């Protein structure tokens, strides 16, 4: 009720005044900040809709350029926000929420309060108001009237217990009807997202192929070529200089061992054997044991997942753990991997460290690479990293056990 009548109405009036003041130029500077506040208010209602009514209200704001610089930047940002259809949906929702949303939020409280009032009358208050008070259609005067008040109050309480969940859901359905983008816009946004994730997946695959080619060319291939040359030299020297031939044979044996090690490392980088044989849980534990910093592991999974999902999750965990060791200066890391059946099934991974904090996606390519890796699976990544730490990286991948 407070959010609907108080905050929504106040933001509507302030935004309306600011829009009028754009004609004088003042609103060009105040409107963006007010629209930011409106978006935060609408975002909070989206969260409550999910927690209280199980309703998903997607946000579809158009991306904005970096923070404004100077007068031109403020004006450009204001114009872009006013051209966004989502801005006007928020604006219409504000006044609707202040009226209809307030009523729908008030009714559940009113039903419970009015029903309890009947029992308050029955408890003895009827004596103080006898002859001068009406409870609904009952004129409170005698004890018999108080009994009728209790009966009516019980009916209103039962009505509230039945109707209140529907009233609360109706409140959030009203918000979803106004805040959610039209279905056509949602489909267009989904198509654009799929296009971007497919493009990122193709780029990632091409980069991975280039890495494999480079590693083979610079590593194992070079050693195998050198080993072949040594064998040719050995063939020429084996009769005239057996001692030198033995030295070259030892070098060839060492080169073959090193080439085999590099090939194994390359294969492990493509798809670790432990991941293929034992699954994500054991592979993540093995990965944690190889870290230079102690990693406390808490893994609870119902079984195996699709191979691409396990691979994406494994390398995402590997990248985040490596970042925590190299850049965060952490002394301890906690890795949690769990599966929940909410929202059709979700693999949830969190990596927390006690490092210096201050992690920023825009300052490095590692986390951006993790986002690209999770993108084809509709996975999401969130980072909480205040200065001084701790840092928590949370990843979610929609999936189901195989």
Cβ-contact 251, 259 below 8 angstroms: no
Could you read off the pLDDT of 264-296 as tens digits, one per residue?
655 555 556 777 788 888 888 888 888 888 889
Quote the pLDDT of residue 209.
63
Q: What is the pLDDT of residue 377?
A: 80
Q: Which helix (H) or strand (E) holds 69?
A: none
Q: Look at residue 363 in the predicted model and tell me its pLDDT.
A: 58
Q: Given this model, what pLDDT does residue 221 score? A: 63
pLDDT for 237 equals 76
Edge-to-edge strands, sheet with 391-398: 295-300, 333-340, 346-353, 391-398, 380-384
Give CA–CA dist 223/211, Å, rounded: 17
pLDDT (0 to 100) of residue 261? 67
pLDDT of residue 262: 62
Which residues of the chain are under the pLDDT cut of 50?
Answer: none
Which structure tokens are listed for 188? 């267009």
Q: Which long-range contacts (CB under 8 A, 24 or more apart) does 255-264 make?
A: 255/223, 255/224, 255/226, 255/227, 255/230, 256/223, 256/227, 258/223, 259/219, 259/220, 259/223, 259/224, 259/227, 262/215, 262/219, 262/220, 262/223, 263/220
114 burial (CB, 10 Å; 0-12 / 13-18 / 19+) is middle
189-197: long-range contacts at Cβ-Cβ below 8 A with a sequence spacing of 24 or more? 189/60, 196/375, 197/375, 197/376, 197/378
**Model pLDDT, residue 186:** 56
Q: In whole angstroms, how large is the CA radius of gyration of the chain?
A: 33
């Amino acid at each position: 009720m407070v959010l609907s009548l108080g905050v929504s109405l106040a933001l509507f009036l302030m935004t309306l005044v600011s829009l009028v003041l754009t004609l004088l130029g003042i609103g060009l500077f105040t409107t963006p900040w007010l629209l930011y506040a409106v978006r935060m208010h609408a975002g909070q209602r989206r969260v409550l809709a999910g927690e209280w009514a199980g309703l998903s209200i997607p946000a579809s704001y158009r991306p904005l350029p970096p923070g404004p610089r100077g007068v031109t930047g403020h004006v450009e940002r204001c114009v872009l926000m006013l051209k966004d259809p989502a801005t006007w949906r928020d604006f219409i929702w504000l006044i609707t929420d202040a009226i209809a949303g307030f009523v729908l939020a008030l009714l559940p409280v009113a039903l419970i309060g009015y029903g309890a009032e009947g029992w308050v009358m029955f408890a003895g208050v009827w004596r103080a108001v006898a002859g001068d008070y009406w409870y609904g259609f009952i004129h409170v005067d005698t004890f018999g009237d108080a009994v009728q008040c209790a009966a009516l109050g019980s009916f209103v309480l039962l009505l509230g217990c039945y109707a209140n969940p529907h009233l609360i859901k109706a409140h959030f359905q009203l918000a979803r009807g106004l805040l959610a983008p039209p279905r056509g816009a949602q489909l267009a946004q989904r198509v654009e997202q799929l296009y971007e994730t497919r493009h990122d997946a193709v780029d990632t695959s091409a980069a991975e192929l280039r890495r494999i080619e480079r590693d083979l060319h610079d590593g194992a291939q070079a050693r195998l070529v050198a080993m072949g040359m040594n064998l040719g030299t050995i063939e020429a020297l084996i009769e005239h200089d057996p001692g030198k031939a033995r030295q070259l044979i030892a070098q060839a044996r060492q080169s073959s061992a090193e080439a085999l090690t590099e090939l194994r490392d390359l294969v492990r980088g493509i798809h670790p054997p432990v991941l293929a044989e034992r699954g994500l849980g054991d592979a993540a534990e093995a990965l944690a044991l190889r870290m230079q910093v102690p990693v406390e592991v808490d893994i609870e999974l119902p079984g195996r997942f699709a191979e691409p999902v396990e691979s994406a999750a494994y390398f995402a965990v590997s990248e985040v753990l490596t970042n925590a060791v190299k850049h965060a200066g952490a002394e301890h890391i906690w890795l949690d991997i769990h599966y929940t059946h909410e929202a059709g099934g979700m693999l949830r991974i969190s990596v927390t460290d006690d490092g210096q904090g201050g992690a920023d996606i825009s300052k490095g390519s590692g986390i951006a690479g993790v986002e690209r890796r999770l993108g084809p699976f509709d996975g999401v990544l969130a980072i909480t990293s205040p200065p001084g730490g701790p840092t928590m990286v949370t990843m979610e991948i929609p999936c189901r056990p195989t």
